[in-house]
Amino acid sequence: MERSLVLIKPNAMKRQLAGTILSRLEAQGLKIVALRMRHINKALARRHYTAHKSKPFFKDLIDYITSSPIVAVVFAGDGAVEAIRRIMGDTNPVKAKPGTLRHDFGLDIQQNAVHGSDSSESAEKEIKLFFRKDELFDY
């Protein structure tokens, strides 16, 4: 079973879309194996988005992702990383296909409602930033 980290981003939290987004993912056969709501600090945000530290949008992205509490979830399933990327759609909500989470709930390229890991390797790294081993369930 592959695992992927999903974050419900501040724009989706403020619009009370966490449950809607999680139920769409569960409806595709993905299983919740860890879940927590937290207001992450900038240090954790910078570690999570370290691959983007030299991008012009980095500072804004860190300010955004730390602007409200978020929900962090680990989903497990066969091909979970790719399945979640497909359900989320393109990074830019304008380019995301109808029926994808980012098309339906994203406001702009930054406030695109949801994060999903981009590979199994980055998923495992990201999961370690958000959860201890004993917070991940096998059932």
| Catalytic residue numbers, as ranges | 115
- How many CB atoms within 10 Å of residue 90? 16
Measured CA to CA in angstroms, residue 2 lies from 98, 122, 136 at distances of: 26, 12, 13
Tokens of 136: 């991940």
- Which one among 118, 120, 124, 125 touches Mg ion, defined by CB under 5 A? 118
Positions in 110-129 near ligand IDP (CB under 6 A): 110, 112, 115, 118
Nearer to Mg ion, 3 or 133 (CB): 3
- Judged by CB under 6 A, the stretch of 29-37, 73-81, 108-116, 126-134 that binds ligand IDP is 108-116
Count of residues in the chain: 139
Q: Which does 61 bind (CB under 5 to 8 A by kind): Mg ion, ligand IDP, none?
A: ligand IDP
Helix axes 80-88, 120-130, angle to 10 degrees: 90
Binding residues (CB under 6 A) for ligand IDP: these are 52, 57, 61, 91, 109-110, 112, 115, 118
